[in-house]
Amino acid sequence: MVFVPSRQRTARPARKPGVVLAVGQRAFVNAPSDAASVILLTYEDGIPSESTLRDGTEVEIVGWRPRGATGTRYRVCDRDSGSDGWLEANELRTSSTRPTADPAALPDVAESHGRMR
């Protein structure tokens, strides 16, 4: 018996690891490093709303929509201010503290002290 593949399989490109959140979960706003807040969007058209949330604000995930290659969008609600809208996955984090820089990108402390002598 000869095996004949019915179709050629190609390797899928690796996806970038991202934030994966569940409805009902608490998360924190992750504003870009050059901004202090993010603007909530309306999902239907992606138009910015008048509501903003400051970096580190705790929100509840109340919905989500996959968007293929453009990434997942999460509907969030801030119970304190009553703000409700949509954020991109990269605008949310699971920790209240902002992540630090990648340790591999930082200069080696021992190496830098050796140069100073």
Domain boundaries, the chain: 29-96
Helix (H) or strand (E) holding 101: none
State whether CATH 2.30.30 applies to domain 29-96. Answer: yes
Q: What is the pLDDT of residues 76-113, one digit of tens each?
A: 999 999 999 999 999 999 998 887 765 555 555 444 44
Backbone angles phi, psi at 104, to 5 degrees: -70, -25
Name the residue with tokens 């630090």. Answer: 100
Select from 46, 49, 29 the least CA-distant residue to 90. 29
Select from 29, 52, 27, 24 the least CA-distant residue to 39. 52
The pTM assigned to this predicted structure is 0.69
**pLDDT higher than threshold 50 for residue 117:** no
